[in-house]
Amino acid sequence: MEVDILAVFAHPDDLELTVGGTMLRMKSLGYKTGGLDVTRGEMGTRGTVEGRAKEAEAAAKILKLDIRENLGLADGHVFVDDASRTAMVQAFRRFKPKVILTHQIDDPHPDHDHIARLVREAARLSSMRNYDPNSGDDVIPVPKVAHNIFSRRVEPSFVVDISEFLEEKMAAIRAHASQFHNPESTEPETRLTDKRFLEELENRSRYFGSLIGVEAGEPFFVREALNVYDPIELLTLPMNLYS
């Protein structure tokens, strides 16, 4: 299935934590949306591979994703090597996204950082017919890549208004029940299982929303200069929505 926008993140709950609201907004605008989990999360402290796959499927339904797949690279062992690039190139050529959302560059989690770089390289290589010639007939124009800002302080290139989707975003996150606070769980505690974590995450969305004058937002960084067709529409959109 071809999609307009593809979210590529390391572990089965990363998409929800970072860009769940944006994916819901894109779906509401009529775009085809897809998710690509790079690993199965087998290195995680809590949950099982099978259980996390079911949680990801349930979350995908809440997010109304048209498709969600798992690339199957090794959790904790994702590197910017040719085998990984080829696997991602093949996925991009199948999905044919116009826009890709992914991790922040220089994220302290090695998988996250490496995937951000893999995505950038694979996006470019997807347009080169002689790279992986077995799938060369499916070359695509280079997709635009936007990095979600999550773990490092970076000035956003833009913030997506997710005000009307914040509740659904949080529901999709909670679908990954094995990973978050559960007073009845006997598994080891992690940063994510702190009972304050989801509240902090919601407050984070509200903070970024406040930067653009809305209830909630998700921030992104784009390395390349953005081509703006209508500066007036771009610069007055929040005023038009909330005046």
Encode pLDDT of 41-63 as tens digits.
Answer: 898 878 789 999 999 999 999 99
Question: pLDDT at residue 243 above 80?
Answer: no
Question: pLDDT at residue 184 above 80?
Answer: no
pLDDT for res 68: 98
- Confidence band for 77, pLDDT divided at 50, 70 and 90: very high
Contact between residue 40 and residue 133 where contact means Cβ atoms under 8 Å apart: no
Encode pLDDT of 192-205 as tens digits.
Answer: 777 888 999 999 99
What is the pTM (predicted TM-score) of this model?
Answer: 0.92
| Number of domains, the chain | 1
Query: What sign results for the dihedral spanned by CA atoms 215, 218, 222, 227?
Result: negative
pLDDT for res 242: 45
- Confidence band for 238, pLDDT divided at 50, 70 and 90: low
Q: Which domain holds residue 84?
A: 5-242
Domain containing residue 11: CATH number: 3.40.50.10320
DSSP 180-221: S--TT--SPP-GGGSTTHHHHHHHHHHHHHHHTTSS-EEEEE
Encode pLDDT of 97-142 as tens digits.
Answer: 999 999 999 999 999 999 999 999 999 999 999 999 887 678 999 9
